[in-house]
Amino acid sequence: MNTVTLDEDDRYIFGLGFEIAWPFSVDATDALRNYLIHGLTPGGFLCAMIAYDYERALYNADVLHRQKFWSIAMHIRNNMPSGSVGSYDNMRHWLDNKDDMRTMFIQEVEKRKVWDKLQQTH
C-alpha cells in the first residue's frame, strides 16, 4: 500500500489532527475525499465499508485492504460525518446531498479552516 501524506485540506476534511496512523491507500484516500466533498460514489470495497457492510467489504477487499481492515473500519466510524456512513441509505442521501448534508459539511470544513488560519495570525 502506498504511503499517503495528508495535506492540510485533507486533515480538515477527514477531521484529523496531525499525528495519525492513516490506513488508506492513495486511491482510497482520493475516493473518500471525492465521496465527502464531491458526492462521487467510491468503489465496492469503500461503499461497503461506509455502509458498515463488513461481509461485502471483505469480499471486495484486495489483500492490502484486508490487512488493514479493522483499522480502516475504525477510521471510517470515528472520523467520517455521521450522516455519511452507517447504511446504504445514508450513503445515497449523502451522494444526493439530501437536506444539504454534504453542503453543510463542506461549509463547516471551510469555517474550521478559516478559524484556524485566523488564530495562527494572532
Cell numbers describing residue 96: 444526493
103 confidence band (pLDDT: 50, 70, 90): very high
C-alpha grid cell, residue 89: 441509505
| Cα diameter, the chain | 51
- CA distances, 32 to each of 23, 76, 84, 85 (Å): 12, 10, 11, 11
Nearest 5 degrees, angle CA 62-CA 74-CA 93? 85
Confidence of residue 15 (pLDDT cuts 50, 70, 90): low
Supply the pTM of this predicted model. 0.80
- Measured between alpha carbons, how far is residue 29 from residues 5, 97, 103, 111, 117 in Å? 10, 20, 20, 22, 24
The pLDDT of residue 52 is 97
Residue 26: C-alpha distances to residues 13, 50, 110 (Å):
15, 17, 23
Q: Where are the domains of the chain?
A: 8-120
Write down the pLDDT at residue 21. 57
pLDDT at 72: 86
pLDDT over threshold 90, residue 83: yes
- Flag whether pLDDT at 1 surpasses 50: no
How is residue 32 written as a grid cell? 473518500
Query: pLDDT value at position 22?
Result: 63
The whole-chain average pLDDT of the chain stands at 84
